[in-house]
Amino acid sequence: MFKKILVANRGEIAMRIIRACRELDIATVAIYSEADSTGIYVKKADEAYLVGPGAVQGFLDGEQIVNLARRVGADAIHPGYGFLAENAQFAHLCQISGIIFIGPSSQAIRLLGNKVKARELAKQVDVPIVPGTDGSVSGMEDALAFCRQAGYPVMIKTCAGGGGRGLRVVRSDQDLWDSMESSSREALSAFGDGSLFLEQYIERPHHIEFQILADRHGNVIHLGERDCSIQRRHQKLIEIAPSLILTPRLRAEMAEAAIAIARAVHYDNAGTVEFLLDQQGQYYFIEMNPRIQVEHTVTEQITAIDLVRSQISIAAGLPVEVSQDEVTLQGHAIQCRINAEDPRNNFAPATGTITAYLSPGGIGVRIDGAVYKDYIVPSFYDALLAKLTVRGRTWDEAVSRMHRSLEEFVLRGVKTTIPFMRKIMTEPDFRAGRFDTSYLETHPEVFKYDDDVEPEDLVLAISAAIAAYEGL
């Protein structure tokens, strides 16, 4: 087993990795920017080093990070998600520098990093893909030809894509050109690759993804699925496990498809195979993410399998600890992303100082947090402050537990998604498990929530009421 791991990330996922290392008795090395020097993970790691320049560049400078790992005697690097997690060149650099990259091989990352190649691979192993262009589109004629044949709406996607970037729904010839241009521009600046492809737009699908664990001994297992249909701008907000709509037969079939794809790329480590499931019950592969995902917590809560611990032991060359038969799904889990953003203002990111923080607790409640009172939320990173995950014996219990936990959660000083999430937990369709990727568009009422009332305001209101009463 490793003696020391460098955590090439920040925020809640850095904390998550440090926790797994503590339990495995592995020392940890954190990296941080000046903007992030007050992060909890910096304090919790055994060693921490300032990397620059700027707030983001240091987390992306693979060479600097590998050199640091060698200098401080780390045997492995965990990339978390985002930053270098899906960078094949970085995985390769680790490999040739004698540092273990905690993730799949650079070849698997390279192949899966290109959605067009991943689609071809899925096709080869007979996994259904969304009808779309064969390969990337080279120009307007190509694109128009596909739209004529498939019919609108279509979805523009970026070959190198991720994090919802560059996705555009197009409903007419007139929109096609502008959307392709803006999508390509966005992809070029985000991924350094502006190439695009087109898919038929599936109306109101469910986003269903399977968690895979694979090792270097040929074992590939799945840990069931997550439904991540509640999204904004094609980015996930609430994730659940298991899905409320899969039949055991469909679950088995989709799991088999997910495993076939993992096997086809000789995948090892933890990964996620994403599908869309349409209203008719047909599923389509969309992509495989070769990394730990934000929403891995819901799978952990219903399987009791520690995915980050598994990533580390697989990277150390050990076989997956459990067999497929030993994986059981128990109860229902829900994760809410507690973001520093304002849902009512188009989810605009919020920054500021956290003036009060008290996390919820009690039975079935899990917090993966990264903030505390007086922490200043930097503006340079994604808006995730904490992940609140609950588990219940039944779906109904899980929803009530999430609602209760969101009520307990005190996080003040910046706008967060807490009051919005609380409203969703009381919305009848959500409570009944009726939701797909159109949920937020089709339920505008969830944006009409009461803002959190500051306790000070409450005290003032009560004293005013008492004064008024006594004055009578």
Name the helix (H) or strand (E) containing 431.
helix 428-431
Which residue in the block uniquely carries the two structure tokens 């219940």?
A: 392
Given the residues 10, 291, 391, 422, the one annotated as active site: 291
- 437 sits near ligand ADP (criterion: CB under 6 A): yes
Q: Which is nearer to ligand ADP, 75 or 368 (CB)?
A: 368
- Which of 16, 168, 207, 422 contacts ligand ADP by CB under 6 A? 207
**Assign residue 220 a region: left if phi > 0, alpha if psi is -120 to 50, beta otherwise?**
beta
User: Closest by alpha carbon to 179, among 195, 156, 199, 159?
Assistant: 156
Q: Residues touching ligand ADP: how many (CB under 6 A)? A: 29
Site map (CB under 6 A) of ligand ADP, residues 257-276, x = contact: -----------------x-x
Identify the residue among 287, 306, 341, 368 touching ligand ADP (CB under 6 A).
287
Site for Mg ion in 269-308 (CB under 5 A): 274
**Judged by CB under 6 A, which of 181, 382, 397, 452 binds ligand ADP?**
382
Long-range CB contacts (within 8 A, 24+) of 309-313: 309/20, 309/23, 309/24, 310/213, 310/270, 311/78, 311/102, 311/103, 311/269, 311/270, 312/1, 312/2, 312/5, 312/20, 312/21, 312/24, 312/26, 312/76, 312/78, 312/102, 313/1, 313/24
Compute the least distance from the CB of residue 121 to Mg ion, in Å: 16
Task: Tell which one of 47, 49, 81, 344 touches ligand ADP (CB under 6 A).
Answer: 81
DSSP letter assigned to residue 129: B
Amino acid at 307: L
- Among 12, 86, 225, 268, interactor with ligand ADP by CB under 6 A: 86
**Site for ligand ADP (CB under 6 A): which residue of 4, 216, 234, 344?**
234
- Which phi-psi region, left, alpha or beta, contains residue 247 (left: φ > 0; alpha: ψ -120 to 50)? beta
Among all residues, whose Cβ is closest to ligand ADP? 162
Query: Which residue number is nearest to Mg ion in terms of Cβ?
Result: 274
Q: How far apart are CA 387 and CA 7, in angstroms?
A: 19
**Is residue 294 a contact residue for ligand ADP (CB under 6 A)?**
yes
Q: How far is the CB of 415 from ligand ADP (least distance, A)?
A: 19
What residues contact 221, with CB distance under 8 A and at least 6 apart?
Answer: 212, 213, 214, 259, 320, 322, 323, 324, 327
Per-residue x/- track, 247-276, Mg ion (CB under 5 A): ---------------------------x--
How many residues lie near Mg ion (CB under 5 A)?
Answer: 1
Enumerate binding residues for ligand ADP (CB under 6 A).
81-82, 86, 130, 155, 161-164, 167, 199, 201-202, 205, 207, 231, 234-236, 274, 276, 286-287, 289, 293-295, 382, 437
Residues carrying an active site annotation: 291
